[in-house]
Chains A and B, each alone.
Chain A
Amino acid sequence: MLYCKKCGVTVTGGLTRCPLCQGDLSGQPEPESEKFPVIGAMPHPLAGIVRLLGFLTVVAAAISVGVNYAYQRNNWWSLFVLAGMGCAWLSFGLIIKKRRNLPKTILWQVGLISVLSVLWDWATGFHRWSLDYVIPILNIAAIVGSVVVARVLRMHIEDYILYFILDCVLGLVPLVLLVTNQLRVLLPALLCIILSVVALAGLLIFEGTAMRAELYRRTRL
């Protein structure tokens, strides 16, 4: 047993200094009576890659703005590079933050990328490619992706049903676009609407109880 003369206390374990006064200890250390393990640093598993990507982003941004300024001062293409990298970081940041919940990540990405693509489309002359292609295809991928993720990871139904319901509801956005005559290309939107309706109907018919229970729990006052 160790002893601190100044504090007048005995000290367990194999410490080299008194935990109270940081003074020297006399006596024999007894590492076997240690109550807590020594635990080394536990850095965030993705801290390294996030820092590296952050640094590379700044390098790319600085170079593109510099080159742009040096050679083509009448055409600010580097602003698009910056905006593009900003959007990529928004999406990437959200993935990192929500990475432990894949169905939720899928839902958030559909929402975020839909909004960003409409903004890009609008900023580049509104050729409606976001409405015709991006939104329907994204929603189809989300519904199919959720089913695959749930199956592969053998998820419990209560862990993904809410996100799946919301995926299907978002999948009906092209229906609104169709009815309000916003679309020029119909095929992707039609596929998306059919898939969403089928998936929602399947949920109601086969998992109606679970769906109602989930919605009740999530919305009770």
Chain B
Amino acid sequence: MKYSRRWARLDNAANIFPSATSSRDTKVFRFACELRDEVDPQILSRALDRTIQQFPLFLSVLKRGLFWYYFEETARRPAVEQEHEPPCAPIYSGDRKNLLFKVTYYKRRINFEVFHALTDGTGALQFLRTLVCYYIGERYAGELDGRLPAIDYDASESQKSTDSFSRYYSGKPQGSFTSGCKAYKLRGDVFFERRLSVIEGLLSAPAVLAEAKKRGATLTEFLAAVLICAIRDTMSVQDQQRPVVVTVPVNLRRFFPSETARNFFSVVNVSYRFGQGDDSLEAVLASVRQTFQSELTTERLRCRLDKLGALERHFAAKMAPLVFKDVVLRIASAKDSRGVTAALSNLGVVQMPPEAAPYVRMFDVLVSTEKMQTCLCTFGSCLAVSFTSPFLGTDVQRRFFRTLTELGLEVEISANQADTTEQENAYAVL
């Protein structure tokens, strides 16, 4: 039998994910596309076969070395399945050598679920867009009349597989970023089997953007402020001793040119301490904008990139066996997560070729979390705001969407229906 040729190191951001994966937080995220018609699994399967040829690194399994995890090329091939697991179910498990992504479908939706070590939102989106374009090209070949939707993702195989963290690591880490104090923590009863509750709101992108512009803010800043205020309403007076911290992932490709389909992101933490004067949405928004302006600069992001790069290249870190690294990284990740209340991730505007766009209704993103994760994704005039959380309580989501409806915005809510009998059985045992 032939021994596989390719293997690759994990990029800097990916290193943490295998160690930090647990049944509470599977480090899996889902990028989904909702079409106008029901999905045809056979055509989807053929589209997947064509797509995967363009993303060679995605045909990898994750293996443990003595010192580091690594990706290894595999002969396994993905298969399309009807959705039969809860969103963001575990993908990586140390003893099961499987591909690190799944493609499923349900009614009109195509779901692409992936383990975060393999790629970030941008890489996953490139994959899903390619998949959907191939699918539409074949499914509606008659209507399209030979015009194949062309994907505007222009990157060679090696560009897609580049480790951009290494590429932009200067080797001269300077300055420091201080780790914050403990943040307010959302609490509550959780779903059975630690499942995620999904509540998704579909809004008109231009209308929300207009509200943001009215306040001189960007969409992300505006919705981050609304989220912080929604969290405030669940806090007791005592809770207000701790700040509400929302962590916002930043796509580094915007600051450091790269076409990689692997991880290339950083994060900015937005913090607000309530009970010290003005707690209005306007005051929170002003603070959020200030943080974004000071943190979202090439210098600040480079500083963080260099610092994390230096950590990985440190002699002691290299020499420590993986068993030891696993423990340290798990502790570091737990410590890091104590400083965060929730996360808000804006995946930006999804572009589809004009031939394919009429067949697509929307795109949305769900991320596994043990806290609360909000994802924004825009396609055409559809802004999908998706909340995932392990908690049964929906106070934050309710206040968030009510703030928006009170501004006169129309919201269409979708949720994953909990099997209520199962939940009651789970409680009966407790």
Contacts and interface: CB of A to CB of B under 8 A. Distances in A.
B52 interface: no
Given A12-B413, A35-B109, A41 B75 contact: no
Contacts of B413: 4, 7, 9-12, 18-20
Given A12-B412, A207-B3, A217-B7, A36 B398 contact: no
Interface of B: 1-4, 7, 34, 63-68, 70, 72, 74-75, 83-87, 93, 95-97, 106-107, 109, 192-193, 198-201, 318-319, 394, 397-398, 401-402, 405-406, 410-417, 419, 422, 425-426
Interface in A1-48: 4, 7-15, 18-22, 32, 34-42
Contacts of A73: none
A37 B109 CA distance: 11
8 closest A-B pairs by CB? A19-B415, A210-B3, A36-B416, A8-B405, A20-B398, A101-B95, A9-B411, A100-B95
B106 to A, nearest CB: 6
A37 B84 contact: yes
Given A7-B405, A101-B95, A217 B394 contact: no
A166 to B, nearest CB: 12
A218 interface: yes
Nearest to A13: B414
Given A20-B398, A36-B417, A221 B3 contact: no
Contact of B401 (A7, A40, A99): A7
A209 interface: yes
Contacts of B200: 35
B198 A39 contact: no
A104 B95 CA distance: 8
A221 to B, nearest CB: 5
By secondary structure, the B interface counts as mixed
Given A15-B415, A37-B83, A42 B193 contact: yes
B106 A36 contact: yes
Contact of A20 (B7, B199, B412, B426): B199
A35 B72 contact: no
25 contacts: A7-B398, A9-B201, A11-B414, A12-B414, A14-B417, A15-B415, A19-B415, A22-B394, A35-B106, A35-B200, A35-B416, A37-B84, A39-B85, A40-B419, A41-B425, A99-B95, A158-B4, A159-B97, A209-B3, A210-B3, A214-B3, A217-B65, A217-B72, A221-B318, A221-B319
A180 interface: no
B200 to A, nearest CB: 7
Contacts of B74: 156, 158
Contacts of B65: 217-220
A144 interface: no
Nearest to B109: A35
A60 interface: no
Interface string A201-221: 000000101100110011111
Contact of A8 (B72, B75, B402): B402
Nearest to B319: A221
B86 A9 contact: no
By secondary structure, the A interface counts as loop
B3 A38 contact: no
A210 B75 CA distance: 15
Contacts of B75: 156
A205 to B, nearest CB: 15
Which of A18, A19, A209 has the most CB atoms of chain B within a 10 A radius of its CB? A19
B412 to A, nearest CB: 5
B86 A39 contact: yes
A98 interface: yes
Given A35-B109, A36-B87, A207-B3, A158 B417 contact: no
Contacts of B67: 219-221
B95 A15 contact: no
A34 B38 CA distance: 12
A157 interface: yes
Contacts of B85: 39, 42
B264 to A, nearest CB: 22
Given A10-B411, A35-B107, 16 more contacts: A9-B412, A10-B413, A11-B414, A13-B417, A20-B394, A35-B200, A35-B416, A36-B416, A37-B106, A39-B419, A101-B96, A104-B95, A217-B7, A218-B63, A218-B66, A221-B67
Contacts of A101: 95-97
Contacts of A9: 201, 401, 405, 411-413
Which of A4, A8, A13, A101 has the most CB atoms of chain B within a 10 A radius of its CB? A8
B363 to A, nearest CB: 13
A213 B4 CA distance: 9
A21 B398 contact: yes
A220 B67 CA distance: 7
B422 A41 contact: yes
A124 to B, nearest CB: 33
A164 B188 CA distance: 48
Which of A10, A32, A98 has the most CB atoms of chain B within a 10 A radius of its CB? A10
B372 to A, nearest CB: 14
B95 A36 contact: no
Nearest to A105: B95
B192 A41 contact: yes
